[in-house]
Amino acid sequence: MKLSAEKIVLLAKQLQIEELKHLAAMSQFVGVVGHLIHNLQAERGASGIFLASAGDRFADIRLELAAESESVERELRTAFEPQLKRAIYGNARLLHLMAWVLLGLDELPELRIRISEQKLTADDSIAAFSRLIAGLVSLIFEVADSTVDPRISSLLVAFFNLVQGKELAGRERAVGALSFASGICDDVHQQRILHLIDAQERHFQVFGEFIEEQLMAQWQEVQDASCIAQLERMRRMLCNARQTTALDANLSDKWFETCSERLTAIWSIQCTLVDRLEELCASLVNEAESDLQDSEGLLKALREHPPASAELADKFFNPAIPVENALSFVAHAGGEAGQRRSIVDVLQAQSQRLAGMETELVAARRALDERKTIERAKGILMARFNLSEDAAYKRLRNASMEQNRRLADVAEAVLTLAAVS
Amino acid sequence: MKLSAEKIVLLAKQLQIEELKHLAAMSQFVGVVGHLIHNLQAERGASGIFLASAGDRFADIRLELAAESESVERELRTAFEPQLKRAIYGNARLLHLMAWVLLGLDELPELRIRISEQKLTADDSIAAFSRLIAGLVSLIFEVADSTVDPRISSLLVAFFNLVQGKELAGRERAVGALSFASGICDDVHQQRILHLIDAQERHFQVFGEFIEEQLMAQWQEVQDASCIAQLERMRRMLCNARQTTALDANLSDKWFETCSERLTAIWSIQCTLVDRLEELCASLVNEAESDLQDSEGLLKALREHPPASAELADKFFNPAIPVENALSFVAHAGGEAGQRRSIVDVLQAQSQRLAGMETELVAARRALDERKTIERAKGILMARFNLSEDAAYKRLRNASMEQNRRLADVAEAVLTLAAVS
């Protein structure tokens, strides 16, 4: 078959279908990643209490949760395989994150032994689980970041922000539980909890911007649940605790339960979102397949009754369509009604679709870029002023409030300053 | 071989080499695209004069130039083939643009017949060539936009801006030549020339931001060439021409020659840049290959003398490294000196490289995004106020000067306004 515009048009459409199928596989993949995160969060919370209580409490629960994590871990390892076979589609960064996560998973048994033998502080145990979970969350971010379909990208941005918000809520559960269990919540832990509360709300807000109404209603129910009032009361106790007065250690269970109730509710939203993602991918694949069939039919008809070259030239070189906007950047009006459709029309319709997709993609891309900016700015502050992550975040946050500017803008300013100084 | 972090690390490095090799092929490809653009520009200029002089002038030159274009066109068609075989790496948008360009090339013979038979105005002929060239320029843009290596991406951004600036200079040559030849330069053509001058300077400025010193010196020579003074004098004649006084038609040749001299100088810079791109790709491939060999060696040594799991766990779960910044977003310090290197170090070094590349990529990406924003804003103004491209650009430009804001910021504001109204 001679290399022709027709051939490439069909190839481009086939490629899009391949990409969408790949995204469908990716959606399942991030679903499993989200599942493992959920299990590790529970294990982290229980391990923290176990260590803070010097092995007194949650000994059995911890082991049960570890067994559950191991089962989902096997599922994830299986899900990695086909990803590698399709590595050609992937990018080096995604593979890199997979290697990192796999390494962490390989070292989990060693971590669990140390926890069993109480060779670790509760804080270090929480940090260790959190590091592995951060790798898993980054995997989801990377998948969202490399997605070019705007509808799927939007849902992945929502998914990432939900999972990251939930992860911060999970860390809050762990830190709070061990504060109650140990009877004190010192300055460092208070600051951490404040940071965790603040950052999770930020992620949940972005999540809310990218979901459909139906899911929003479900999300509102989570926000209004009775456990939230309970949670807020205990948050207040933690954050206002005097360093000299002991916290009620018995509240540790209540705190853990309340947080868990909320996390379970968020988890159910997460499951709904994964279903939604898979449905969306399937329907987009169908749509693209029927579009390909239409185009094949049209082009076959055109081959049988080819238009005169003059007719095509008229369309292609139509001076009524401005040069710059003939393609790629701006959608423009198609051929006039009544005119016979031609390959030029197929291409122009496709231009319009691609331009539309690009425009829609902007919002999702921006949300992801803002996250990168904030993380980078935090890293710079940490390195430059030798700050903890919580303290770096607090600086950004304070500057944002004082100057009444968006957090992302303050972060951007930090990066600019770092680049010139 | 069991699925291990080691295996994925090596796979990621192999993938990067594949990507770099693909970029090397792409660099050659954009070189050919740039070459065809150069030839079509000359043909466009000659065809314009031919038509404006009612077939009196440039009849032979036009045919010679057409023959040259056809020869480079064959080269480009050959270069398309391997691109399609590697379509898996490409994206739907790139394929779409290739189809568009191919269609235009298929219709070129028809366009040439119409020009020979003088069935076309000079303006419409210029617009027709310009539309095809715009497609070719967009191909270069798309290649630059989908490149993830920051060093190559920077050079491609420079290349795109040079080619686009040169294309605007080429259009200026064509419009000016036919104005001189026809003896008048009316309002519409004056506005077009002003737009073309202004827009080409903008592109050349961005070009200057992304090239190395050596090339900058060469570029300065082009800017300071004696033909430029000559050009500016004739530009003034065109832009200030009274609608009632005839221009000296004999200056048409002089104008064409002067512009051509400048375009030839720019063309030589373009050739240097293509060479530079190919050199860079080759050296990056070498670098990546030797990095892969190092890693293979290290990982082989580690397989033979595996570290205790405890040692790896210590490194992976090291609480001294903050959770959020353990990977992906911010480069952080590697393992301590003297410690045995492990897979964790390999991964951390890679994190650092990827984070560094991402940071470097930001500037190139921004330059491309700004261009998209400006083109989109122009499109919106054209559609909404029924403006010509020149007039839409003028509005943006005026607002930018009046408000003392960057053109890209004004364009961004137009998009925001369009989204909410």
Residue B341's pLDDT is what?
Answer: 66
Whether A325 and B382 lie within 8 Å, measured CB to CB: yes
Q: Is the pLDDT of residue A329 over 70?
A: no
Q: Is the pLDDT of residue B46 over 80?
A: yes
Residues of B in contact with A16 (CB under 8 A): 92
CA distance A149 to A91: 17
Identify the structural domains of chain A with CATH numbers, from first to last. 23-282 (no CATH), 322-420 (1.10.10.10)
For chain B, how are helix, strand and coil distributed in percent, rounded to 5? 80, 0, 20
Reported as a single tens digit per residue, the pLDDT across B395-409 is 999 999 999 999 999
Residues of B in contact with A131 (CB under 8 A): 316-317, 321, 323, 326
**How many C-alpha atoms does A242 have within 13 Å on its Cβ side?**
3
Q: Name the least confident of A311-320, A335-344, A397-406.
A: A335-344
Q: Name the least confident of B52-56, B141-145, B174-178, B346-350.
A: B346-350
Of chain A residues 17-56, which have a CB less than 8 A from chain B?
18-19
Residue A322's pLDDT is what?
Answer: 63
Residues of B in contact with A84 (CB under 8 A): 3, 8, 11
CA distance A298 to A337: 17
pLDDT, mean of residues A100-116: 93
Reported as a single tens digit per residue, the pLDDT across A55-71 is 998 899 999 999 999 99
Token pair of B237 as six digits: 């004649």
Q: How far is B395 from chain A (nearest CA, A)?
A: 16
A336 pLDDT band, cuts 50/70/90, is very low
Contact A295, A11 (CB under 8 A): no
Q: Name the least confident of A120-124, B32-36, B348-352.
A: B348-352
Residue A333's pLDDT is what?
Answer: 45
Q: Compare CB distances from B135 to A80, A310, A327 and report the shortest one's residue.
A: A327
Residues of B in contact with A90 (CB under 8 A): 15
CA distance A346 to A326: 13
Burial-class residue B86 by CB neighbours within 10 Å (0-12, 13-18, 19+).
middle
Q: Is the pLDDT of residue B294 over 90?
A: no
**Rg of chain B over all Cα atoms, to the nearest angstrom:** 26
Neighbours of B187 (CB within 10 A): 8
More confident residue, A145 or B38: B38
Residue A324's pLDDT is what?
Answer: 54
A44 pLDDT band, cuts 50/70/90, is very high
Most A CBs within 10 Å, among B323, B352, B385, B388, to test the A interface: B323
Alpha-carbon dihedral B212, B217, B221, B223, rounded to 10 degrees: 50
The answer to whether A325 faces chain B, any CB pair under 8 Å, is: yes
Residue B334's pLDDT is what?
Answer: 45
pLDDT, mean of residues A141-149: 87
**What is the rounded average pLDDT for all residues in chain B?**
86
The answer to whether B137 faces chain A, any CB pair under 8 Å, is: no
Q: Compare CB distances from B329 to A324, A354, A372 and report the shortest one's residue.
A: A372
Residue B216's pLDDT is what?
Answer: 93
Reported as a single tens digit per residue, the pLDDT across B75-123 is 999 888 877 766 555 577 888 888 889 989 999 999 999 999 999 999 8
Q: Is the pLDDT of residue A1 over 70?
A: no
Residue type, A146: S
pLDDT, mean of residues B31-48: 94
> Taking the alpha carbons of A10, A11, A12, A18 in that order, is the dihedral positive or negative?
positive
Of chain B residues 88-107, which have a CB less than 8 A from chain A?
88-93, 95-100, 102-104, 106-107
CA distance A414 to A392: 11
Reported as a single tens digit per residue, the pLDDT across B302-359 is 778 777 777 778 878 877 766 555 454 444 444 444 455 677 777 877 777 887 787 7
- Most confident stretch, A125-134, A358-367, B360-369: A125-134
Reported as a single tens digit per residue, the pLDDT across B355-381 is 778 778 888 888 888 888 888 888 888
Of chain B residues 287-306, which have a CB less than 8 A from chain A?
none
ipTM: 0.80
The answer to whether B372 faces chain A, any CB pair under 8 Å, is: yes
Residue B328's pLDDT is what?
Answer: 45
Residue A294's pLDDT is what?
Answer: 87
CA distance B421 to B418: 5
Q: How far is B226 from chain A (nearest CA, A)?
A: 31
B7 pLDDT band, cuts 50/70/90, is confident
Q: Is the pLDDT of residue A90 over 80?
A: no
The answer to whether B148 faces chain A, any CB pair under 8 Å, is: yes
Residue A93's pLDDT is what?
Answer: 81
Residues of B in contact with A383 (CB under 8 A): 330, 332
Neighbours of A260 (CB within 10 A): 18
pLDDT, mean of residues A210-216: 90
